[in-house]
Amino acid sequence: MVGPRLVLLDLTGGFEYARVFAAAESAKVPVLAFTTHALARETQPWHARCARVVTKETLTAELPSLLREGAAP
């Protein structure tokens, strides 16, 4: 069975991020997260735990290639 290639995470959603990241890390699945320019400073503490963080605009523009190629910057 093949597992997920990445986790797509909304950093503006108010989730229990510590639990999400712990699960992703234990499964060795990279996290592709997205935020907004306005909230980037607020979501900054989580950025280091992500393989890549993009804005919602970038996510919209690059989603097809991100899904094909993964979360690597």
Q: Residue type for 59, please?
A: L
Q: Which of 14-18, 45-49, 63-67 has the lowest mean pLDDT?
A: 63-67
Name the pLDDT band for 70 (thresholds 50, 70, 90).
confident
Q: Average pLDDT over the chain, rounded to whole?
A: 92
Contact 34, 54 (CB under 8 A): yes
The confidence score (pLDDT) of residue 73 equals 63
SS3 of residue 37 by DSSP: coil
What DSSP element (H or E) covers 31? strand 31-35
The confidence score (pLDDT) of residue 38 equals 96
Residue 71 has pLDDT above 80, yes or no: no
